[in-house]
Structure 1
């Protein structure tokens, strides 16, 4: 019985921790729900299961498949969906990729493991800047507005304000809540016009509250 891991196993563990740390630091810096420790542990866990599968007989494929299944449950746990939006999809995707990075380290593809981790960090950081640049040009937002009463004239008045600021709008839902009219719009506009619209919206007497879900 071998009480100590083989040299290759120690290298796999070290590469797994290093590769997971690269991605985990980026997630921790952005204060995501799956932060540094979580990402490193997911990567290390995938490596450990892959290493164990190497010593099994005819179990490699089953263990690899079960790793993917288990990661799916973890990824689902970080996704949050409310009535108007879904959050956590990127974090779930990162968890899925990190598991692949750990599996690559566990099977001995150290260069592939480190390469994918670096590429993942670049995608999370550089592509985020690309998304921000696109948002500065054109935004799509979902707004939830509650009026002070049930007067449907307020709805038409709000549409005129949107048109005034060159905001394209699509009405998604209209409902009654505590004897007040509430409406959900999908808005399309550039950032400057949307900000001007928000400023005017805050001063409208017939609007009781509003908030956005991107």
Structure 2
């Protein structure tokens, strides 16, 4: 197994990689996104993912770097992370009773093979109509403040979502099926060895959620 580096400090992306049994280290990219321009949201999110990946690739001699950036897009407008509670409230009011798109740019750089792969995954998310009480309560939880579009699908905001079209994990921040395909293309076998089986068994036992009758 080659050295795997996650170029992100996102706890959600880290948890997703742990779920699939990937052994990796975290080196946050910490790039300056100011002044970065693009002709479309998908071009921007792709550029950001590449920028993060290359930033770390320039610091290491070998390994595979995984980088990603996720944005929320409504009617062509990008909704980033809210900068205060009023900003979060405005975003949630905009998303209320609407359909928006979540885009994740995913970049994989293989230093050993000198390969750079990048994709953009898109998921449509349908929000129910939100009351002021629901919005105010959600903001008070603090959950919206570090998330694009001011919500996290894996948290309390899950009750606001009527349905999605596309990859759920893309909305969380990392489209796992696309990452799996990219890793396979670079010769990374996620099913190799008893050690990987045992590691996943331990993880799932520790996070068991029984299906009780």
- TM-score band (shorter)? under 0.3
Rg (Cα) greater in structure:
1
Per residue, is there more helix in 1 or in 2? 1
TM-score (norm 1): 0.22
Per residue, is there more strand in 1 or in 2? 2
TM-score (norm 2): 0.22
